[in-house]
Amino acid sequence: MEGNFLFQAFVYLLSAVIFVPIAKLLGLGSVLGYLIAGIIIGPFVMGFIGEEGEDIMHFAEFGVVMMLFLVGLELEPSLLWRMKKPILGLGGLQVLLTTVVIATIAILIDAPWNEALALGMILAMSSTAIVLQTLNEKGLMQTSAGQNSFAVLLFQDIAVIPILALMPLLAIHHEITHAANEHASTSLISNFPAWLQTLAVLGAVALIIIAGRTLVRPLLRFVAATKLRELFTATALLLVVGITVLMTLVGLSPALGTFLAGVVLANSEYRHELESDIEPFKGLLLGLFFIAVGASINFQLIIENPLLIAGLVIIIPLIKTIILLILGRSFKMGTDQNFIFATGLSQVGEFAFVLLSFVSLQGILNDETVSMMMAVVAITMALTPLLNVVTEKIIIPRIGTKELTQEIEADVIEEKNPVIVAGFGRYGSIVGRFLKANGTEITVLDIDSDRVELLRKLGRKVYYGDATRYDLLKSAGADDAKMIIIALDTPEKCLELITTVKKHFPNLQIMVRAYDRADTFKMMDEGLLYIYRETLDSALRMGVDSLKLLGHRAYRVERMARTFRKHDEMNLKKLAAVRYDQKEFISTARQSISELEQFLLADLKEVNLDKDEGWDVESLREEVQNMRFPAK
Amino acid sequence: MKKVLVIFAHPMLEKSLTQIKFIEGLKTMPHIFFHDLYQTYPDFDVDVEFEKELLLNHDVIVWQHPFYWYSSPPLLKQWIDLVLEHGWAYGKDGIYLKGKMIFNAITTGGPNFGYEETGFNKHTIRQFLAPFEQTAILCNMHYLPPFVMHGTHRASQDERIEFANSYKQLLTDLTVNKFYLHKLTSVKYLNELIPSSKNQTV
């Protein structure tokens, strides 16, 4: 028995360890890696696991519950409020329209309405994991395509909760008695009268909210005070498991309960600890869940219906793309941003697996449909990287913003600007505008096509695309320019560009924007001299104004700020030199704190802001007071 | 061999017609250190320790600047305020500048005849330079007569170049210690020591 369990665990873990990295390498994302692992070890390929897959799936569904707890934790009410228009507008309409269109088509081909509706909701989901990863890798997160994709995904994440709650209502036709019986066996209150059941449900929800606010925080504080890391982890797990038990008792979805608990705790000071404690469990259990999904796909069915599957794989993303394109257009996105956005979100995502297995349990869809849909979903996910390449290389070059507009390319007298500005966002645009205001011509490289369109309209010379690409730099005149100003959106991209420039265009003087000390160190390691921490000057200006408002004289404070900056930069250099001496490994966060400590200590010792002895000197006063003047 | 330090103050060199000629090539001349204050301290935060080091390492100091409102541009005054410290440049222990030579090299827009007690400026250049002179004396330095180019508003390009050449000749002569101190202090303007120079005729 025990040996059997260990052997199974071995098979699952081994398959994950082998296939997930391979899928990652191929740009397919970890979800597909787990699915493939499941398929390989499943009954249709190697047959290591068979019937018990079902049980494991039940267990692994707990991963979904944890995931929703984390989704709840990560919801910042302020962020939601700020993005309410794209989230509710774009996201809401995307889910609604996609559901309606797909359900309508399903009804037209003779599906019962409840099945059609369930399918519609399931297929409306996109893959948060794949899309966000792709956007981050390409540095597109800050563009309108990135922001809007994020909004839609966020709405979908939240929409899963009501959809999960809605699904049981759809289970009216087929195996309603079976489902009801199953519920009866687990739910304590199913024998109560209806009003009491409702009351119990409401009471449970209220209990979570009230307990989350009043009991859990003190409990977490108490546990945290023991400084026993594993006890905190245990408490976090207890919280999730406890809510699951409570929800099961009143016959509600555990996912809904944990999601609520997550939202309640999102503002607590223990949010990050809870997140980092639950995260690995969630990751593993979800991995297990996807392996189980992979193992449960009925390949017999797919082999028998290749055309149907192929058709669905083409039609479903197509429908989603068209709906997204229409929505993107009406939300005023530029052509290529819209295409990046629409094709990027066109796959069906990992939530679909969750929902499919849920409806399968509820008996809304039969096993054949579920199996087929799982295959379809998996294939659309697998095709996402390919589709992105098609969008990027074939569609956008034809219809979207050109890398360089024809008129400029045709210009015979190609102007050679001395400065290239890579990234014209909130930082680069200020630098660029300042240079331009002083009559220095700049060539701009930017990845946000909307911004590029705007700049071109204003007659600026702008190249569109990823500034880290050698060929783009070359056509932007990097061979003849004197200087490159690097102000891309992420430190990773900045470092990538630094490497490219140093390798291919050593003639360029590099000026780079850094984000914090960690990036600055990396850039110093690259041998750069002109590194600008984006917050330093602004923070110092605030300090200056604060002191002025507190009654300090303006000129002295201004001088102090400059002295302070010099001192800070000198300390940074010192710290950079000794940074690798530390033998023990310390985490980045700890490192940053210990660095801050060194800075604070150095402030105490070194900042002598009063050494301007030329003005009203004490020593002169003393010398004069001791002098003997001839008597009058 | 004497080492010459040119402390140059000009807030708007981009628009300069005369001073720009004066500094042309100064950087590469032997034994002359050209120190551009507005380029080094755009924020007026003069690095006192560095400046003291420079002063210690040179024998002849030149304050070169346009003559704005009968004086120097403000950064040179800031420099004087901050660098010439009590207990270092002057006072009981202020011995470090003792014996060094110092003078102003200036350009004025108005003509020579304006700078007479009977002229419209009511004072001579030397009278206007009294604060600089007394500063030097308090620091135990030898204050020399100034090098002056008058009438730059109406000067031709040739005249500018000629004065600039005389100035550079003077600096070179100072590095090789060509003149005795009493000779240097005997003239009204140092220009007189350079034979080719048109003597304040503009």
- Domain end residue (candidates: A373, A395, A417): A395
More confident residue, A216 or B187: B187
Least confident among A42-56, A274-288, A458-472? A42-56
pLDDT for B198 equals: 54
Alpha helices in A43-143 (DSSP H): 53-74, 77-82, 84, 92-108, 113-124, 128-137
A358 and A321 Cβ atoms separated by less than 8 Å: no
Q: Provide the ipTM.
A: 0.78
How confident is the model at residue A120, as a pLDDT? Answer: 92
Say yes or no: A299 and A416 in one domain.
no
Domain check: are A32 and A155 in the same one? yes
The answer to the question of residue A632 being in a domain is no
Q: Which residues of A touch B75 (CB under 8 A)?
A: none
| Residue A413 confidence (pLDDT) | 37
CB contact under 8 A, A614 and B48: yes
Mean local confidence (pLDDT), A439-448: 88
Residues of A in contact with B43 (CB under 8 A): 562
Tell me: pLDDT of A89 over 80: yes
Tell whether A431 is covered by a domain: yes
Question: By mean pLDDT, which of A115-119, A614-618, B38-42, B99-103 is the weakest?
Answer: A614-618
Tell me how close the Cα of A68 comes to any Cα of chain B, in angstroms: 55
Give the sign of the dihedral formed by CA A281, CA A282, CA A288, CA A289: positive
Contact B48 A611 (CB under 8 A): yes
pLDDT at position B16 is 93
Contacts of B91 in chain A (CB under 8 A): 619-620, 623
What confidence tier does A147 reach under pLDDT thresholds 50, 70, 90?
confident
The answer to whether the Cβ–Cβ distance between A559 and B45 falls below 8 Å is yes
Say if residue A589's pLDDT is above 80: no
Who's near A568: CB < 8 A, 6+ residues apart?
Answer: A536, A599
Strand B147-149 and strand B101-107: the pairing is parallel
Residues A545 and A469 both lie in one domain: yes
Neighbours of A398 (CB within 10 A): 8
A174 pLDDT higher than 60 = no
Cβ contacts of B85 on chain A, cutoff 8 Å:
613-614, 617
The shares of helix, strand and coil residues in chain A, as percent rounded to the nearest 5, are 70, 5, 25
Q: Read off φ and ψ for residue B107, nearest 5 degrees.
A: -125, 135
The answer to the question of residue A3 being in a domain is no
SS3 call for B177: coil
Give how far A612 is from chain B: nearest CA, Å.
Answer: 7
Q: Percentage of residues in chain A with pLDDT exceeding 90?
A: 16
Radius of gyration of chain A (CA): 30
Q: Is residue A50's pLDDT more than 70?
A: no
Indicate the fold that domain B4-193 takes in CATH: Rossmann fold (3.40.50)
CATH number of the domain at A339, please. Answer: 1.20.1530.20
The confidence score (pLDDT) of residue A581 equals 61
> Which band of pLDDT confidence, cut at 50, 70 and 90, is reported for residue B163?
very high
Strand A419-422, strand A483-486: pairing: parallel
A168 against B186, higher pLDDT = B186
CATH number of the domain within which A491 lies: 3.40.50.720
Do residues A160 and A273 both lie within one domain? yes
Task: Specify burial of residue A242 (Cβ count, 10 A radius: 0-12, 13-18, 19+).
Answer: middle
Taking only the tens place, the pLDDT of each residue in A71-85 is 788 777 777 777 788
How would residue A178 be classed by pLDDT, with cut points 50, 70 and 90?
Answer: very low
By C-alpha distance, which of A381, A387, A312, A379 is closest to A342?
A387
The arithmetic mean of pLDDT across residues B16-20, rounded, is 94
Would residue A617 count as lying in a domain? no
Half-sphere exposure of A72 (CA within 13 A, CB side): 25
User: Amino acid identity, residue A186?
Assistant: T
Mutate to test the interface with B, among A555, A623, A626 (most CBs of B within 10 A): A623
Query: Which residues in chain B touch residue A562, judged by CB atoms under 8 angstroms apart?
Result: 43, 45
Closest CA to A402 of A332, A476, A465, A343: A465
Same-domain check for residues A377 and A491 = no
Q: Give the residue-averaged pLDDT of A194-212.
A: 79
Judgement on whether residues A390 and A477 belong to the same structural domain of the protein: no
Q: Which residues of chain B does A615 touch, with a Cβ-Cβ cutoff of 8 Å?
A: 81-82
Residue with tokens 């109406």: B154
Which residues in A lie closer than 8 A to residue B84 (C-beta atoms)?
A: 614
**C-alpha neighbours within 13 Å on the C-beta side of residue A41:** 28
For the residues A518-534, what does the mean pLDDT come to?
Answer: 89
Distance from CA of A563 to the nearest CA of B (A): 9
pLDDT at A349: 82
Q: Provide the residue type at A63 as one letter.
A: G
Of the candidate ranges A165-179, A357-371, B7-21, the one whose mean pLDDT is the lowest: A165-179
Which of the four pLDDT bands, split at 50, 70 and 90, describes residue A52?
low
> What's the confidence (pLDDT) of residue B115?
94
Is the pLDDT reported for residue A148 higher than 80? yes
pLDDT at residue B32 in the model: 96
pLDDT range class, residue A563, cuts 50, 70, 90: confident
pLDDT tops 50 at residue A376: yes
Paired tokens of A622: 């003393």
Query: What was the pLDDT predicted at A216?
Result: 84
| A334 and A443 together in one domain | no
> Average model confidence (pLDDT) for chain A?
80
A451, A519: one domain: yes
DSSP for A507-575? TSEEEEEE-SHHHHHHHHHTT-SEEEETTHHHHHHHHHHHHHHTT--HHHHHHHHHHHHHHHHHHHHHH
Q: Minimal Cα distance from A614: which residue of B?
A: B82
How confident is the model over A569-587, as pLDDT tens digits?
A: 888 887 777 776 654 445 5
- For residue A72, the model assigns a pLDDT of 81
Q: What is the mean pLDDT of residues A371-399?
A: 81
Q: What is the pLDDT of residues A591-607, one digit of tens each?
A: 666 767 776 776 666 55
> Which residue in chain A is spatially nearest to B41 when comparing CA positions?
A562
Nearest to A619 among B48, B82, B87 (CB): B87
pLDDT at A434: 94
Confirm or reject contact between A622 and chain B (CB < 8 A): no
User: In 3-state terms, chain B is what percent helix, strand and coil (to 5)?
Assistant: 40, 15, 45
> How far does the CA of residue A566 sit from the closest CA of chain B (Å)?
11
* A383 shares its domain with A411: no
pLDDT at A407 over 50: no
pLDDT value, residue A582: 57
Asked whether residue A613 is domain-assigned, the answer is: no
Interface contact B158, partner A, CB < 8 A: no
Q: Among positive and negative, which fits the CA dihedral A442, A448, A452, A454?
A: negative
For residue A463, the SS3 value is strand
> Per the confidence metrics, is the pTM higher than 0.80?
no
Mutation target among A541, A558, A619 for the B interface, most CBs of B within 10 A = A619
pLDDT given at position A495:
92
| Over residues A540-552, mean pLDDT | 93
Q: Most distant CA pair in chain B: distance in Å?
A: 49
d(CA A325, CA A16): 36
Handedness of CA A500, A502, A506, A512 (dihedral sign): positive
The answer, yes or no, to whether residue A51 has pLDDT greater than 80, is: no
Residue A233 and residue A293 in one domain: yes
Q: What is the pLDDT of residue A411?
A: 35
Strand partners, B8: B36, B64
Tell me the mean pLDDT in the region B8-31: 93
Q: CA A69 to CA B72: how far, in whole Å?
A: 71
> Rounded to whole angstroms, what are the CA distances from A237 to A230, A244, A249, A279?
10, 11, 18, 11
- Interval A311-351: pLDDT, tens: 999 999 999 999 999 999 888 888 888 888 998 899 898 78
Stretch A271-280: mean pLDDT: 79
pLDDT in tens, B58-114: 999 999 999 999 999 999 999 999 999 999 999 988 999 999 999 999 999 999 999
Q: State which H helix or E strand residue B104 sits in.
A: strand B101-107
Closest alpha carbon to A495 in A519, A471, A470: A519
Decide if A504 contacts A470 (C-beta within 8 A). Answer: yes
How many Å apart are CA A258 and CA B181, to the nearest integer?
93
Host domain of residue A331: 8-395
User: In the prediction, which pLDDT does B180 show?
Assistant: 93
Of residues A514, A525, A528, the one with CA closest to residue A579: A525
Are the Cβ atoms of B85 and A614 closer than 8 angstroms? yes
A350/A415 same-domain check: no
For B111, B158, B174, B187, the CA distances from B193, given in Å and listed in that order, are 20, 20, 11, 8
Average pLDDT over residues A352-362: 81
Q: Are residues A336 and A363 in the same domain?
A: yes
The domain total for chain A is: 2
Task: Supply the pLDDT for residue A609.
Answer: 55
